[in-house]
Amino acid sequence: MGQDRYPGDKEMTLRLSCVGLATLVIALIAFQVEYPWSVYYRGFDFGKWQTMFSYLLVSIAFALLSMLVAGAVLKDRRRSATRSAILCSVTIFVVAILLSLLFGPGGLNLPGTRVRGIFFAEWRFLSFLPYVAAPVAFTAGLVCGWPFRSVCA
């Protein structure tokens, strides 16, 4: 008990934690740059807490998605770090495209939030892809392929 089941468990846990934390931070920064907080709770009829909850919800969803994808990609230890990074980035970006289409033109919204109104309404879903999804996917891929062996040794 208390021992790792596999020799790479500590490395995998560290890597997934770093992927989640890095994508959470990058998503929050990208949201503030592309969708400034002050515009949505001062200039619109969005409440301050509802706006903050929407920003955090989407950022945390991105972090969890990135951790899930990185975990699936990194399970195959035969794949090179470069291939893992590329696969991780591309998968996250494709899922982000699908989600933006679902929330944007698809009209999906999460009850009690302003997720669609802030990030995906009208044509805003198109700016979501290059300014938020791409940096998050790139960061997740970078951390996914980063050589952690020296840190964990």
On whether residue 4 sits in a domain, the answer given is: no
Which range marks the domain in which residue 25 is found? 9-152
Asked whether residue 2 is assigned to any structural domain, the reply reads no
Is 3 a domain residue? no
Q: Is residue 68 assigned to a domain?
A: yes
pLDDT digits (tens, 9 = 90+) for 49-99: 888 888 889 999 999 999 999 989 888 878 888 898 999 999 999 999 999
pLDDT band for 149, please (50, 70, 90 cuts): very low
Structure pTM? Answer: 0.82
Report the chain's C-alpha Rg in angstroms.
17
Count of domains forming the chain: 1
